[in-house]
Amino acid sequence: MKKTILFLTFSFHIIGFGSSAFTVLKDSLSMQQISGIFGEKNYGFTKNTLEFGNWALRETNRDTAWVKVGGAFRLNTIYTYYEGQTFPLGTELRNDWTWDTWRLNIDSYSKGLQFSFEYRFYPTFNTHFIKYGWIGYRFKDESNLQFGITQVPFGLLTYASHSWWFQTPYYVGLEDDHQIGFNYLYPLGNWMFNVAYFPLSEPRGTNETSFGELSSARYSYDVIPVEGNSNIERNQFNMRAAYKLTSGEIGVSVQKLQIYNLATENLGSQTAFAAHYEQDYGRWNLKSEVLYYNYNNVRNNDGDLLEVVQMGAYGFGSYDVASEAAMYVVGLAYNLPVDLGPVSHVQFYNDYTYTQKFSTTLINEQSMKFAPTQQNVLGALVTAGKIFAYFDIAAGYNHPWISDSFGGNALGSGRGEDFREAIGDHNPIAGNPGWNIRFNINLGYYF
């Protein structure tokens, strides 16, 4: 905690905050320049433009120099229909307004040199962590090299989703993932190539241990060490090639990384492939992706080969993820400009993912195939000045978060007939676990 406070304090003083430093800044800069630091940012009206940040990466003029400070405050409320029942208002943080997130963004750019940083706080469950923080350089040929905690170039970028939620790939570390390392972007005609190397996953932040393991205090879902299963991610390589279309792009990605056991020094691996296509058709936007991943030779501390890995984020501990699966992703959105008081735009969308699992487990001495996971989010993003509101109806089938039993085995084997218990001879995989539904409103002010 002390280190985090010191780092944030240091960051503020870099850009001229603090009682004495602010006076120096005020004396040395015109009011117009100061306004530029905190001034207007074009957040657009889609998730890609609103949540991306990374203002330094967006700058294409090498000969300019600036500093930008921004962030967001977001409130959240939900109403749920889980396991065939609803819940009264204000029960266990459910169906009540909570302070979801506040975040700090700092970006600077000076003649090709880039700096971009975002830190997030989740007061409701006492968790905070860095999302990204990197330095970079834009070369004269418009190529770009980033070093630090940066987004992994894999699949649809920046997001495979339109909603406040992500598509299911995010919950297995394959959408909007961030790691520590190098990411090189090289444009060639209509092509954009990425080559990246990440020796380690991003550093953990701080969370309350009553919610989950300390190793799960992070933005991206990663393989994390838990009791009896001390695996971590390291030495990750990524390559991505995308071809720019008139109003979209088509591309392929490949990812390879090691899964290292801290206790036994066993080396396993993960391999992942993706093909994606995104296109605007007038006011319509289509996102589509097919991906496959496989964990090989991943073992627990006793040396047992694992059919599931433990992944975690947001300080909520870990859950099972099938060691081999394919995901089929599609999202369709419609953009509607409006003139209704402060409301200027509404984007309607529907995002769907089907997860096909290839792992198996023994139940009563018979091999049973893991059950599929499905997720569908129907909703709208409403833009009113600097206020952005997501209205989502999220439905989940064998889903880790759209459930009264958070995490668990839903993304692994699938839930058991008793959804609260582990899979076993007396609790086989449920043939029809049913759909759970969550109505979610997320209201944010961005500055």
How high is the mean pLDDT of the chain?
Answer: 89
How many domains does the chain fold into?
A: 2
Q: Dump pLDDT digits (tens) for 380-417.
A: 999 999 999 999 999 999 999 998 888 899 999 999 99
Q: Dump pLDDT digits (tens) for 265-301.
A: 999 999 999 999 999 999 999 999 999 999 999 999 9
Report the pLDDT value the prediction gives residue 406, as an integer from 0 to 100.
84
For residue 9, which phi and psi values (nearest 5 degrees)?
Answer: -60, -45
Does residue 11 sit in the same domain as residue 100?
A: no
Cα–Cα dist 33/11, whole Å:
19
Report the pLDDT value the prediction gives residue 92, as an integer from 0 to 100.
60
Does residue 30 sit in the same domain as residue 109?
A: no
Residue 179: how many CA atoms within 13 Å on its side-chain side? 28
Nearest to 55 by CA among 43, 72, 73: 43
Residue 62 has pLDDT above 90, yes or no: no
DSSP state at residue 426: T
Reported as a pLDDT band with limits 50, 70 and 90, residue 201 is very high
Reported as a pLDDT band with limits 50, 70 and 90, residue 23 is very low
Reported as a pLDDT band with limits 50, 70 and 90, residue 45 is very high
Does residue 340 sit in the same domain as residue 229?
A: yes
CB count within 10 Å of CB 85 equals 8
Residue 161 in tokens? 């989703």
Within-domain flag for 113: yes
Reported as a pLDDT band with limits 50, 70 and 90, residue 35 is low
- CA angle at residue 161 from 313 to 185, to 5 degrees? 85
- Which amino acid is it at 260? Y
Q: Dump pLDDT digits (tens) for 238-252.
A: 999 999 999 999 999
Cα–Cα dist 108/57, whole Å:
10
Does residue 60 sit in the same domain as residue 34?
A: no
Cα dihedral 402→406→412→413 (10° resolution) = -90
Calculate mean pLDDT across residues 104-129. Answer: 94
127, containing H or E segment: strand 127-138
Cα–Cα dist 277/301, whole Å:
40
Does residue 277 sit in the same domain as residue 325?
A: yes
Give the chain's largest Cα–Cα span.
Answer: 77
Residue 26 has pLDDT above 70, yes or no: no
Cα–Cα dist 330/351, whole Å:
6
Nearest to 51 by CA among 195, 160, 179: 160
Does residue 101 sit in the same domain as residue 23?
A: no
DSSP state at residue 172: G
In which residue are the tokens 């997860």 written?
A: 355
Does residue 225 sit in the same domain as residue 297?
A: yes
| Bridge partners, 395 (sequence order) | 376, 437
Burial of 273 (0-12, 13-18, 19+ CB in 10 A): middle
Within-domain flag for 70: yes
Reported as a pLDDT band with limits 50, 70 and 90, residue 90 is low
Cα–Cα dist 1/207, whole Å:
10
Calculate mean pLDDT across residues 120-142. Answer: 92
| Bridge partners, 101 (sequence order) | 74
Does residue 272 sit in the same domain as residue 372?
A: yes
Does residue 7 sit in the same domain as residue 59?
A: no
Report the pLDDT value the prediction gives residue 211, as an integer from 0 to 100.
78
Reported as a pLDDT band with limits 50, 70 and 90, residue 439 is very high
Q: In what order do the strands lie in the sheet with 308-312?
A: 222-223, 308-312, 318-322
> CATH no. for residue 232?
2.40.160.10
Cα–Cα dist 29/33, whole Å:
6
Nearest to 411 by CA among 254, 220, 403: 403
Reported as a pLDDT band with limits 50, 70 and 90, residue 87 is low
Report the pLDDT value the prediction gives residue 91, as an integer from 0 to 100.
58
Q: Which domain holds residue 224?
A: 54-446
- Choice among 73-77, 86-90, 171-175, 416-420 with the minimum mean pLDDT: 86-90
Calculate mean pLDDT across residues 6-22. Answer: 37
Within-domain flag for 49: no
Cα–Cα dist 11/37, whole Å:
14
Report the pLDDT value the prediction gives residue 34, as an integer from 0 to 100.
52
Does residue 266 sit in the same domain as residue 136?
A: yes
Is the pTM value of this prediction over 0.85?
Answer: yes
Does residue 19 sit in the same domain as residue 151?
A: no
